Structure 1
Amino acid sequence: MTIPLTVYRTASELASERLEDPFVGLHVGVTCPRGSYGILELTAHHAPNVGEALLRVVRYMPLVTESRLELRQTEDELALVHRIPGEPHGLGRHANEFAMACFLRFVRDTSQTPVPALRAEFAHPAPPDVSELEQFFGTSNLVFDVGRNQLVLDPKVASLPINTSDERLLPWLDSYASSLLPPESSRAERIPGLQEQIRLCLREETPPTLRVLAQRLRLSPRTLQRRLQGAHTSFQGELEEVRRDLAESYLRDPKWTIKAIALRLGYADRSGFERAFMKWRRTTPGEFRRSLPPAPDSMQET
């Protein structure tokens, strides 16, 4: 069943009002019965560790939603990024908080470890009270109105083992789940590897042009352009999405000057980067950096 996003948001708001529960999305996410997501959930629970489980959540997410989900891992962070292209407020407050609560609960359930978040980001504006969100996510490092939802964990979480893992059953579950995926043309992740190749180009200081990216993906420029159109996006839109995410990551690291970040992201000068950042976040890079809370301590070894 598919319903318009506006109806979904309205239904969530009405549920919050009728139940007199301003955290209804969080509460439903915490108590959602195990097995609600079928083969996606079953396959992930049989993965060897949390990192492999999250990869399967990303891979099979098109079975339950058209939202875009991506897993990113660096030396400092393990991040699960959830967004809806063209919808800066995502699913709306309660559904955004529901999704993020489900992701963290899944990590905690599979690893049997009370994993705290390093940071939790939400697409919707900040609500008046965030106390229950801070308590559940285990951090006061909450960020709002950023055009996406993002759960950021210590990278060591990826290696936490899963007690329900079954290496003999897992290939069969993967095969069955893969057979249920919709055709490539209708999946949320329609151009696998594109954004990762854009990041590599920027890191290597190679101009990330359509032709260069097509070559790296072993596609013709025309085929890449056709796939972008079929995904209802554009090359410039994908490039700006990567630049925005990297910009925020670099701004959280004090060793990077704003000028250095601008050059790293492929802008000719600082002013071009500042104009782009103002469009993304309605604030300057400097103001964004000054608004950041102190970085929390990383999760201790278990």
Structure 2
Amino acid sequence: MYTNHSDRSARAAPEGSVPASYVRLLFEYLARQGHDAGALLGLAVPVGATAEAAYPASQWRAMLERAADHLHDPTLGLRIGATITAAHLGPLGYVLLSSSSVPAAIERYIRYQRLVHDVSPVRCLQHNGQVVLEWDAESRSVGLLVNQCGLAAVIQFARNVTGEAIAPEAVHFVESPPDDATPYRDFFGCPVRFAQDATRIILPASLLSLPLRLADPALAAMLEQQVQAGFAALPTKDPFEQDVRQRISRHLLQGEPGLRHLAAELNTSGRTLRRLLSQHGWSYRALLDDTRKHLAEDYLRDSRLALPEVALLLGYSEQSAFNRAFLRWFNLTPRHWRLRNPDPTSHSN
């Protein structure tokens, strides 16, 4: 389920951005320290956390650096991230909070990451009994304070939704080692390494079986409609990724398309296509799987299509293979998903 998986169905401007919720975290923290955040940062207090209220990553970095200098605190990002709550993330925060399981929350976090931190795409891998959240090379450009805040927010949110004092097995930063790494080890509760090849959080696989404190799948499904609307309002989709997705979709009726076949259509080699996809945050298998997943939702909303027909449209030779994939994606059978999401053009169930 978690092999090189990241949702990059839309690509931001090259610089990336963060939502107003992160800036609000900084304002709240400065206020608690007795500082006038507006005067210090030269900004009005942010009032929302929508995509429209996003701040360029460079501006967010400058705000953190200015505040850190003023407070003489090189680990300010850790302290800001540690204050995050569901309310700061708006509808997405409550969707994650009420998800049915940790895997479901992780999948939603990855799918909608751009609403949380649209700077570099995140991938989730499962390897040697560990779950690894990994951000790509773009994370190098934002600076240590920004990465501190982002990683601290992820761990703090995981602690909030599970009610457990979750400690990763290791945390990796791409930046050079600080003079004192003690605050990092104190917060994360694990070894923290610097000058690494990627920004990572390495978690024990046992995390996946932890119950969520406020699991409410029905509420999560209802709120996710608002999240999807906000996600759809984000900037233009990545043309290269969309082209590959469309080619995959066209070939599915003839079965699962191979990497080499698509590469030939694009007049390139399989190795080059694999490299290009990796640069866009995908493996071929993950993009194929994600394309099928989104198509499955569209097809199932059409009540005229029987389940075996949906399976064939998605390139599955057997209904059972489609059922297994769908259970992995949604923790529901296609039939139960359809009952929960009836065709709006049909009066039948």
Question: What TM bracket, shorter-length normalisation?
Answer: 0.5 to 0.7
Question: Are 2:204 and 1:160 aligned?
Answer: no
Partner SS state of residue 186, structure 1: coil
Contact 1:66 1:187 survives alignment (8 Å): no
In the other structure, the counterpart of 1:128 is 179
Q: CA deviation at 1:238?
A: 4.4
Tell me the TM-score normalized by structure 1: 0.61
Change (3 A) 1:31 1:176: closer
| 1:214-229 to 2 correspondences below 5 Å | 215=261, 221-222=265-266
**Partner in structure 2 of residue 78 of structure 1:** 131
Query: Which one has more relative contact order, counting CA pairs under 8 Å at least 6 apart?
Result: 2
Asked if 2 retains the 8 angstrom alpha-carbon contact of 1:90 and 1:96, the reply is: no
Alignment gaps of 5+ in structure 2: 1-52, 245-256, 282-349
Please say if residues 46 and 167 of structure 1, whose CA atoms lie closer than 8 Å, have aligned partners that are also in contact.
Answer: yes
Secondary structure of the residue that 1:106 maps to in structure 2?
Answer: helix
Match of 1:44 among 76, 96, 104: 96
- The corresponding residue for 1:149 is 199
Q: Aligned pair 1:19/2:63, yes or no?
A: no
Once residues 48 and 189 of structure 1 are traced to their aligned partners in structure 2, the CA distance between those partners, rounded to angstroms, is: 33
**Unaligned residue ranges in structure 1 (runs of 5+):** 195-210, 226-232, 243-302
Instruction: Give the secondary-structure state (helix, strand or coil) at the position aligned to 2:266.
Output: helix
CA–CA separation in structure 2 for the residues paired with 1:224 and 1:174? 38
2:112 to 55, 60, 68: 60
TM-score w.r.t. the length of structure 2 is 0.53
Matched residue SS, 2:87: coil
Partner of 1:247: none
Provide the residue aligned with 1:176 in structure 2.
226
1:240-279 deviation line (CA, Å, top 9, x unaligned): 899xxxxxxxxxxxxxxxxxxxxxxxxxxxxxxxxxxxxx
Aligned counterparts of 1:185 and 1:38: Cα–Cα separation in 2: 19
Shift of 1:149: 1.7
Identity %: 21
Give the SS at the match of 1:126: coil
**CA shift at 1:5, angstroms?**
3.7
Root-mean-square deviation (Å):
3.5
In structure 1, the residue corresponding to 2:218 is in which secondary structure? coil
How much does 1:237 deviate? 4.9
Number of equivalences: 214
